[in-house]
Homo-oligomer: A and B are copies of this chain.
Amino acid sequence: MTNAPLIAGIELGGTKCICILATGPDDIRDEVRIPTTTPEETLSAIEAVLDRWSGFAALGIASFGPVSLDREAADYGFITATTKKGWSNTDVGRRLAAHAGVPTGFNSDVAGAALGEGRWGAAQGVADHAYVTVGTGIGVGLVLGGEPTNGLTHPELGHIRPVRLAGDAWAGACPFHGDCLEGLASGTAIRARTGQGAETLADDDPAWESVAHALAQLLHTLVLTGIPRRIVMGGGVMTGIPHLFPRVRTRLVASLGGYGTAPAIEPAETYVVPAALGNNAGPLGAVVLGTRALR
């Protein structure tokens, strides 16, 4: 750790931004939280933090999305068509890179968290893994051979359309897709369906069966990509609801039905695991993105 470079890591979230100056989780030298308001106000406040810091070798930015990751595209480093009011088509990556004047890594917040969990968290030593966050929305990061799997763009597998639990015809809460995964199993969906937040919903509420079924379908799909050797799950809904992990694991194993690589994911307790970095996954992921920009 002592030889690790000092990095400025920025997690740009939908409600707040976390800026850390660190070489890793055991050496965080400063941490500043900034509320996410308008783009100009928010980015100027981040720039002021960067101006105050010195000695960092690179900058890493893990941003809410969707973000443009195509280095050949005119909008590389931008937040593109987002549901967050006022932020569509906002240059984040190029602007902050130019301001900092150091090598800069840029990716989605979920890709960042995936890399953070791979470097210091629950997927350490696993070159091929996935990170799933279940909170206000549902996001997926995929890492293959240590690299985020960015081709056309970053994964958006929170919006797959899972087969429905028998007898469940609730229309779902996604403004784009209705009963896609995020429309069935996110914190927003749970509140829309039950009128309660996930943290207060009774453990035996039947809505949990639909949530667990939908999440298991995402994991079924992730296993069948052939990529992850481990799936890390985080976000407020997963970390706040202890009974959800066992339900999701049981339904995953049942859904795969012994097919193909199914034996490789058992015991499911070591294949589907809780995130280890908690709220620091995002900013530490940004540190990893910054470190990678030095290569």
Min CB distance A83 to B, Å, is 10
List A213-239 residues whose CB lies under 8 Å from chain B: 217, 220-221, 223-229
A99 within 8 Å of B (CB atoms): no
Query: In the assembled complex, which residues on chain B have CB atoms less than 8 Å from the CB atom of A177?
Result: 255, 257, 259
With contacts A127-B151, A149-B227, A153-B226 known, what are 16 further pairs, Cβ within 8 A?
Answer: A128-B151, A128-B152, A144-B151, A145-B151, A151-B229, A152-B228, A153-B264, A155-B226, A156-B226, A156-B261, A159-B224, A161-B163, A164-B164, A176-B258, A177-B257, A221-B221
Q: Do residues B261 and A151 form an inter-chain contact, with CB atoms below 8 A? A: no
Shortest beta-carbon distance from A251 to chain B in Å: 11
Question: In the complex, what distance in Å separates the CA atom of A233 from the CA atom of B82?
Answer: 31
CA distance A164 to B150 in the complex (A): 29
Confirm or deny: A276 has a beta carbon within 8 angstroms of a beta carbon on chain B.
Answer: no
- Cβ of A162 within 8 Å of any chain B Cβ, yes or no, is yes
Q: Using a CB-CB cutoff of 8 Å, which residues 141-183 of chain A contact chain B? A: 142, 144-145, 149-157, 159-164, 176-177, 179
User: Is A260's CB within 8 Å of the partner chain B?
Assistant: yes
Determine whether the beta carbon of A152 is less than 8 Å from that of B259: no
The residue from B81, B179, B261 contacting A152, defined by CB atoms under 8 A apart: B261
Contacts of A154 in B (CB 8 A): 226
Contact of A176 among B217, B223, B259 (CB under 8 A): B259
- Measured CA separation A145–B21 after assembly (Å): 32
A224 & B264 in contact (Cβ 8 Å cutoff): no
Q: What separation, in Å, do the CA atoms of A260 and B162 have in the docked complex?
A: 18
Q: Does residue A135 face the partner (Cβ distance < 8 Å to B)?
A: no
Known: A161-B163, A163-B162, A164-B164. A155 touches B259 (CB 8 A): no
Q: Which of A102-153 contact B (CB under 8 A)?
A: 127-128, 142, 144-145, 149-153
Query: Given A162-B161, A177-B259, A221-B160 in contact, is the A144-B149 Cβ separation under 8 Å?
Result: yes
